[in-house]
Amino acid sequence: MKRFAFAGRTCLITGASSGIGAALALDLAKRKAVLALLDRDAEGLSRVADLAREVGAGSVTTYVIDLSDGGDRLDLAAEIASRHGGVDLLINNAGVTLTGTFEQNRMADFDWLLEINLHAVIRMTKAFLPQLLARPGSHVVNVSSLFGLIGPPGQVAYATSKFGVRGFSDALRHELEPRGVGVTVVHPGGIKTNIAANARLSGADPDGEQAEQARRFAETALTMPPAEAARQIVAAIQARRPRLVITREAKAADWLVRLTPTRWWQLSQRLARRRDLT
C-alpha cells in the first residue's frame, strides 16, 4: 500500500480529550486532516478541538460518548458518514486501568475495563468497517500497551484487555490488508498521561499502599511526553507499519519476554534488585 497521506482525510480518534489522543489530534491537525474527536470528557474535548482548529485542522467535529455503555456505535458511524462521507483513519486510543490483584478486583470493575479497553475497540471497528473498506488506502490503529506484550502481577485486568487488542489487531490485519486497509497495533510504555493517576480502585483503599504505589508509578515511570508518542504513531501510520513499540523500556521488555517467555518476571526482578544495589 502507498504511504498514508493525512491532508483532507477524515480521522476519528477515541480518548481524544487528553494524553496520547489529544496529542494525536493536534499532530494530525497540523497535517490538515479532518478530525472527528470522541471522548466522555466534554470540557477537555472542546478544549482540544479549539486547539486543533487553531493549528490548521481541515475541520473538527466532537462527540461526547462514554465507551463503557456497550453501544454498537452504528448511529455514530451513520452521523460521521453524513457529515464527512466516511472515515479514512480510525484510531482506537481510549483506555482505562484498574488497581488491585485479581483476587481483589470486583467483577463489575473488571467488566467495565474490558468494555472500554477491548470491546469498544471491537465495536468501533465493526461499526466503521464498511466505511473503511469503501475508501481504499484507509487505516486502523489500535492502541494496546506494554502490558499487551507482558503480563505483570497486579495488572491482570489491564493485561487481559491489551493482549486482546493485540490479538484482535494481528488477526484483523491479515483479513484487511488484501482488501486495501492497513492495521497498526501500538504498544506504548511509559507515556506521561493520566491513566495511572486516574485508575479505578477495585477492592483497594483509596488512601492505602496500592493507591500510593499507583501514584508513585505515574510520577516515576510515565515520563515520555504524549506529543513524542503521537509523533511516532503518526510516522508509523504514514509508513503503514504493522506494529509499533514505544519507549526504550517497552522495547527491552519485549525483547526479554521473547528471550524467556515463562521466567521474564523473575529475571526482571533480579535485574531490578541488582540495579538498586549499584
Q: What is the pLDDT of residue 275?
A: 58
Q: What is the pLDDT of residue 270?
A: 77
The amino acid that residue 118 corresponds to is L
Residues of the chain with pLDDT under 50: 214-215, 217-220, 277-278
Q: Which of the residues 128, 147, 158, 168 is marked catalytic? A: 158
Domains and CATH numbers, the chain: 10-246 (3.40.50.720), 248-278 (no CATH)
Taking alpha carbons only, the member of 129, 167, 119, 175 closest to residue 12 is 129
CB 202 within 8 A of CB 106: yes
> How do residues 71-92 score in pLDDT, each as one tens digit?
999 999 999 999 999 999 999 9
Q: What is the pLDDT of residue 210?
A: 53
Q: How far is CA 39 from CA 22, 93, 127, 162, 178, in A?
A: 10, 10, 17, 19, 32
Claim: this prediction has a pTM higher than 0.85: yes
Q: Is 158 annotated as catalytic?
A: yes
